[in-house]
Amino acid sequence: MAFRDEIQALSGQNVNLCFQCSKCSSGCPLADKMDLKPAQVMHSIRLGRADSVLNSQAIWLCVDCETCTSRCPQDVEPAAAMAAVRVLALQKGIKPSVKVIDIYYRGFVDNMRLNGKIHDASVAGITQLLTGQLIPDLPLAMKLLVRGRVKPPPLPLGGGRFRKIYRNALAKEKESRA
Amino acid sequence: MKLGYYPGCSLEGISAEYDESIRALFAHLEITMEDLPDWICCGTLAAPSLSRLLGLATPLWNVAQAEKAGYDKLIAPCSACLYHFKHATQTVTENPSLRADVEAVLELPLDSPPPTIHPLELLSDNSFEMRIRASVKRDLSDLKAVCYYGCHISRPAKLMQFDDPENPQSMDRLLNWIGIQTLDWPRKVDCCGAHFSMIKPDIVVDMCQRLFESALEAGAEAIIVGCPMCHANLDTRQNAIAAKLGHALNMPVLYFSQVLGYAFGLPGEKLGFKRHIVDPLPLLKCLKLEVTSD
Ligand code: SF4
Ligand code: SF4
């Protein structure tokens, strides 16, 4: 399937409707940090430039704030297209170009596998440790601890529910792609 | 109406004061809600990034539990959880084959999933106006504050179906009912950077700096919020922002549920004020605050 069609199948978005007004880029709070701005991501998908989109930092810097989707005069949802590109990139085994975000998302799901819920302090601490950002935030962590906003990690119970969903979902997706 | 309550992970951790104040407020207003049994994390952006089906099934597990428990509505105080519940529900409602896949993954039916709503949607309904006005015990009318809605309380409009995506009013209305004339400002729906606080704090500092500058320009002494991530970012990153601004900040960031609870005369301990990095009590105590008699 062509790249553009794959994105359409995953996101339900017809990028051909985009008329490049750039309203999405103008309102995106992360645009100044992105290599491809949201309107450029849309245009690149339309042109089938799979490599540049799948390897862009933009798709990983998107926080899913939905400003773009909310303002698009053509009723296209750039945020949904971004999400579809992220899924496709991982399906194709492409390493996210923003490493810290990859570490965070994976660590987050690993933590869910323990308890079903996440223990926010562990997710934050482990992510920051692995990305070398723990030290600057230690004083803040201490302040949160004394204020009772850092809870002790729970016993790894209750993760069974999520682990089953995880197993089933990945198996089903594999089966439908086969 | 049978209401379910989904606190979400943050409210069991860094945002415990949101949970405490919501529970105290609802109890005070005699609104009964039941904790959703067997809930799991909504998955946020992490689960859908790994697999589309996982990203749908994870929030929908909770929605399926709410359906099983027979709730008419499920209340989610975290606007990210709220968004993921609504988004997943709408996606499978529009796509029967995806719904069948999700049902198979969950081993549970999704026949008539109840809607998820933000507590603001419940409380800002006009039917509560009289009750809320009549419950006021502390006069907070001197509080100079802006309401900050962030991303998902009303955005994207087509999905959230609540309030105005560019200029929401529900929280302002609620606070007006208790006598606070909230200030107008242009950044009430800008993003705070959400979970990037844990991975790219410099980006969050930039984004929140814009919010504080705008709030200060409007003359605000406090920011009132309705999302645990907005609160965490605004409350915990003020040192770094103050260093960039070149002056002290110390601006209390309060949940609407804390402000309402305080106006209704609930004690600060029940509302979690002591958990804030920027202590809101000095500001609240300088207001005139006469406690009216019952
Ligand atoms: S706002 Fe919509 S139409 Fe305009 S550039 Fe972005 S996606 Fe295209
Ligand atoms: S959803 Fe992503 S791309 Fe769209 S405005 Fe927000 S950060 Fe930018």
Summarised one tens digit per residue, pLDDT across range A111-152 is 999 999 999 888 888 888 888 888 888 889 889 988 989 888
Q: Write down the ipTM of this complex.
A: 0.94
Q: What is the pLDDT, as a whole number, of residue B293? A: 42
A26, A70, A103, best to mutate vs chain B, most B CBs in 10 Å:
A70
A149, A167, A173, A174, best to mutate vs chain B, most B CBs in 10 Å:
A149
CA triplet B142, B144, B150: central angle to 5 degrees? 140
Q: What is the pLDDT, as a whole number, of residue A135? A: 83
Rg (CA), chain B: 19
Which ligand approaches the C-alpha of residue A39 most closely?
1
Q: What is the pLDDT, as a whole number, of residue B96? A: 95
User: How far apart (Å, rounded) are the C-alpha atoms in residues B223 and B237?
Assistant: 14
Q: What is the pLDDT, as a whole number, of residue B291? A: 52
Q: What is the pLDDT, as a whole number, of residue B294? A: 42
Ligand 2 touching residue A39 (CB < 6 A):
no
In chain A, what residues touch B87 (CB-CB under 8 Å)? Answer: none
Q: What is the pLDDT, as a whole number, of residue B290? A: 52
Map out the domains of chain B with their CATH numbers: 3-117 (1.20.1050.140), 137-286 (3.40.50.11810)
Taking residues A100-108, what's their average pLDDT? 90
Q: What is the pLDDT, as a whole number, of residue A121? A: 87
Taking residues A55-83, what's their average pLDDT? 96
Is residue B268 within 8 angstroms of chain A, CB to CB? no
Q: What is the pLDDT, as a whole number, of residue B147? A: 98
Mean pLDDT per 10-residue interval, chain B, length 294 residues: 96 95 98 97 92 96 97 98 97 95 96 97 96 96 97 95 96 97 97 91 95 98 97 96 95 98 94 95 77 46
Percent of chain A with pLDDT over 90: 69
Phi-psi region of A148 (alpha: psi -120 to 50; beta: other; left: phi over 0): left
Q: What is the CATH number of domain A3-91?
A: 1.10.1060.10
3-state SS, one letter per residue, for chain B? CCEEECCCCHHHCCCHHHHHHHHHHHHHCCCCEEECCCCCCCCCCHHHHHCHHHHHHHHHHHHHHHHHCCCCEEECCCHHHHHHHHHHHHHHHHCHHHHHHHHHHHCCCCCCCCCEECHHHHHCCHHHHHHHHHCCCECCCCCCEEEECCCCCCCCHHHHCCCCCCCCCHHHHHHHHCCCCCECCCCCCCCCCCCHHHHCHHHHHHHHHHHHHHHHHCCCCEEEECCHHHHHHHHHCHHHHHHHHCCCCCCCEEEHHHHHHHHCCCCHHHHCHHHCCCCCHHHHHHCCCCECCC
Domain residue limits, chain A: 3-91, 99-177
User: How far apart (Å, rounded) are the C-alpha atoms in residues B35 and B11?
Assistant: 13
